[in-house]
């Protein structure tokens, strides 16, 4: 009962995921997303390492998020298995559970084809009254990347929302 009450309070306070294009230029952009979740810090880290549980099938090359895996150690691969091969979507740069932070070099999807530099930082801090505040910052630079801010925001906002919803249900 206590967890249900906490979830209801956090949902009322958090509402939908706050999202914003924080900065935009011809050759880059920064997106931020923030939302309260009920999951413990340990559950947040575990979920980040299992994107098959929350990533959208529609935003995979194989058509199935179950083909995605993440190795949460520096140099680890955020990879997707494809028939007879695979794709590296991102590389793990930082895993720091004590600071509640994970960072990826992450030129997802079409960002790879323009040679963009893209860094996705995921963090989670304790929220007042319990739970965590989940935050993503996605910074992208590359030739013409600024024109891609809105469509990339649409995809990333969806994935962030899916993770936040997954963590809201996973509270401990």
pLDDT number for residue 21: 84
Percent of the chain with pLDDT over 90: 83
Residue 59's nearest CA partner among 159, 138, 160 is 159
Dist CA 65 CA 69 (whole Å): 9
Per residue in 60-118, pLDDT (tens digit) is: 999 999 999 999 999 999 999 999 999 999 999 999 999 999 999 999 999 999 999 99
Mean pLDDT score, 29-46: 96
Q: What is the CATH number of the domain that holds 135?
A: 3.30.530.20
Dist CA 83 CA 19 (whole Å): 35
Q: How confident is the model at residue 38 (pLDDT cuts 50, 70, 90)?
A: very high
Mean pLDDT score, 126-132: 90
pLDDT over 60 (residue 126): yes
Give the DSSP per-residue string, 60-89.
SSSS-GGGEEE--STT-EEEEEETTEEEEE
End-to-end Cα separation, the chain, in angstroms: 12
Domain membership of residue 127 (yes or no) is yes
Domain membership of residue 124 (yes or no) is yes
Could you list the residue range(s) of the whole structural domain that residue 111 is in? 2-54+92-169
CA–centroid distance for 100 within its chain? 14
Domain membership of residue 78 (yes or no) is no
Token pair belonging to 163: 């993770």
Secondary structure (H, E, C), 24-36 = EECCEEEEEEEEE
Domain total of the chain: 1
C-alpha dihedral (77, 78, 80, 81), degrees to nearest 10: 30
- 128 SS3 class: coil
Dist CA 30 CA 124 (whole Å): 18
Q: How confident is the model at residue 164 (pLDDT cuts 50, 70, 90)?
A: very high
Mean pLDDT score, 147-159: 96
Domain membership of residue 164 (yes or no) is yes
Domain membership of residue 150 (yes or no) is yes
Q: Between the CA of residue 36 and those of 32, 46, 72, 96, 118, what are the distances in Å?
A: 14, 17, 23, 20, 25
Dist CA 72 CA 158 (whole Å): 22
Domain membership of residue 102 (yes or no) is yes
User: Across all residues in the chain, what is the average pLDDT?
Assistant: 88
pLDDT number for residue 1: 32
Domain membership of residue 71 (yes or no) is no
Domain membership of residue 158 (yes or no) is yes
């Amino acid at each position: 009962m206590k967890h249900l009450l906490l979830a209801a309070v956090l949902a009322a306070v958090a509402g939908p995921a706050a999202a914003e294009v924080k900065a935009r230029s011809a050759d880059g952009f920064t997106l931020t997303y923030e939302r309260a979740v009920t999951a413990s810090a340990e559950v947040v880290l575990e979920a980040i390492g299992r994107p098959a549980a929350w990533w959208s099938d529609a935003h995979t090359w194989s058509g199935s998020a179950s083909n995605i895996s993440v190795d949460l150690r520096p140099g680890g691969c955020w990879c997707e298995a494809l028939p007879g091969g695979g794709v590296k979507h991102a590389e793990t740069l930082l895993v720091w559970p004590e600071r509640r932070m994970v960072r990826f070099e992450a030129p997802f999807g079409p960002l790879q084809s323009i040679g963009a530099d893209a860094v996705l930082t995921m963090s989670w801090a304790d929220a007042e009254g319990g739970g965590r505040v989940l935050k993503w910052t996605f910074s992208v630079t590359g030739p013409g990347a600024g024109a891609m801010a809105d469509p990339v925001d649409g995809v990333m906002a969806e994935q962030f929302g899916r993770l936040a919803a997954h963590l809201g249900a996973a509270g401990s």
